[in-house]
Amino acid sequence: MGGDMMKKLCILSILVLFFTVTVSAALAKVELTYWTHEDPNRTEIENRYIKEFETANPGVKVERVTSPSGKMAEKVLTAFAANRGPDMFNMEIEQEYAYIVNRRLAPIDSKAVGYPSDKAIYDAYLPRVLDPATFDGKLYGLPMELTNWCIYVNDRIFKNAGLNPEKDYPKTWEEMVEVSEKIVIREGQIIKRRGFDFRYPYYLVSMVPMVEQLGGQLISDDGKKAIINDQAWIKFLTFMKEWGPNGRNLGSPTYTPARSLFNKDKNDVAMCESGLYQQGRIRQDNPEFYNSKEWRVIPYPVFKNAVKNVAGNYYGHYFVVNASKPKENQQMTWKLISYMLAHPEEYLSKVGLIQPTVKLMKSETFKVMPYANVFKEDMERAHIVYYGENSAKIQDHIREAVESVMLAGASPGEALEKLKRRAQEALQER
């Protein structure tokens, strides 16, 4: 009797277990993975969108995984190399472009993203902003953000240095040097307070426009030659040499990045380069400073003798979909992307990210964002950052050239010769 009872209980338990597993498997029909970089403000709203999406689509489970932005390229590449990439991810277009040309991403499913056709998608966005994600006539991604950098100014430090932030802010790179000289505090050779410093790892976004202002180019119009107009590059490299510790000693890549210190308002740095999203981060890191209104945003400076009036390049993070996933997953992923992108005003007001739709740029939310007009006007005189299969490599070569003049004592001429050889080789790609 006891044995029989035990036998029945065992069978019943197995059946219950089997039923539970089967039902769970049936319910979670589609599991999506979404890899993105860390951004606490965005995490908050995207987790909410994902929950809402899962509720509206029973059987869909979305796993959102974040990594430090500097680690994203390595992580995504390793996963794709092992054919274990996520369903969707976002990265800078300079990084994503290689995935597009190597056919690792799925073209957009216009119906799944709620548009009648691809043309309707292009019409919904600002002109040219979808070009970087277009290849062989097909669209491969939608922008999660399109960002340009202007200069953030700490009014308190300006006043402390006897400057009037309303009038004395730098309009040219030459004035940037002069103003920084007035603000900088050194103890011997060691800088205790900087006026301004560059965002060193991001040479394509932040420094190539300086060369363009002087008449130079990174890549020729026909795309065959790298580093155009030696004189412009020499002038730029001379400027950077003067800026560094072996010149006027106004800043260096070896100091803590200016952007990281700016929010703290600890009398470390008066100006830094950043995007509209910086405002959300100041608000989060230092509400007192944010609410004090003692900060402002000014346009990207231009050289006095500039031959071209260009601002800092803008770059985009595009949502893209893994082509190796089943069709069902791809469609559901595009649907999820569409759902998330249906909230551009919240992305803007809570995270400070611009999703460049025509509708958003005309919206009241955009107009009332502090200094939105400065970013908009700068974007109008800027262009998208250089993107190509080897853009990351070319960026590293520019970095080596700048570092060699700033830190290693190389002459601008020597640095340029090396840069030309390396950049040309990267462009031709063996």
Partner 1 sequence: MGLRLIPVSFFTLIWDMKGRIFSSGIEHKKARWGWTFIIPSLVFFSLFSFYPILNALYTSLFRKKLLSLDPPRFIGFDNYVYLLQSPDFWNSIRATVVFTLGTFVPIVVFSLIFALFIMSRKRFQKFFQMAYYSPAVLSSVVVAAIWLLMLDPRGLANQWLNFILNTPGIDHKWLANSAMVQISTMMVYFWKYVGYFTIIFLVGLGSIPKSIHEAARTDGATGWTDFLYITLPLLKPTTVLVSIMSMLQCLKTFSTQYLFTQGGAPMEPINVITLNLYHTTIRDRSIGLASAMSIILFCMMLFFTWLQFKTFRSEEVQY
To the nearest whole angstrom, how small is the minimum distance from the Cβ of residue 429 to partner 1? 9
* Strand-pair category, 315-321 with 141-147: antiparallel
The answer to the question of residue 200 lying near partner 1 (CB under 8 A) is yes
Query: Using CB under 8 A, which of 192, 264, 266, 359 touches partner 1?
Result: 192
Contact 158, 195 (CB under 8 A): no
- Which segment (53-61, 138-146, 182-190, 227-235) binds partner 1 by CB under 8 A? 182-190
Query: Using CB under 8 A, which of 41, 54, 67, 73 touches partner 1?
Result: 73
The answer to the question of residue 228 lying near partner 1 (CB under 8 A) is no
Of 186, 239, 187, the C-alpha closest to 211 is: 239
Q: Which is nearer to partner 1, 208 or 232 (CB)?
A: 208
The answer to the question of residue 98 lying near partner 1 (CB under 8 A) is yes
CA–CA dist 124, 137 (Å, integer) = 17
The answer to the question of residue 198 lying near partner 1 (CB under 8 A) is no
CA–CA dist 173, 429 (Å, integer) = 34
CA–CA dist 377, 374 (Å, integer) = 5
Would you call 366 helix, strand, or coil by DSSP? helix
Residue 116 buriedness (CB in 10 A; 0-12 / 13-18 / 19+): exposed
Q: Which is nearer to partner 1, 76 or 374 (CB)?
A: 76
- Which segment (19-27, 36-44, 250-258, 353-361) binds partner 1 by CB under 8 A? 250-258
Query: Using CB under 8 A, which of 108, 191, 207, 272 touches partner 1?
Result: 191
The answer to the question of residue 400 lying near partner 1 (CB under 8 A) is yes
* Strand-pair category, 141-147 with 150-154: unpaired
CA–CA dist 321, 224 (Å, integer) = 30
Q: Greatest CA separation found in the chain?
A: 100
Amino acid found at 41: N
The answer to the question of residue 393 lying near partner 1 (CB under 8 A) is yes
- Which segment (114-122, 293-301, 346-354, 391-399) binds partner 1 by CB under 8 A? 391-399
Q: Which residues contribute to the site for partner 1 (CB under 8 A)?
A: 70, 73-74, 77-78, 80-81, 98-99, 102-104, 186-192, 200, 245, 252-256, 390, 392-393, 396, 399-400, 403-404, 407-409, 422, 430
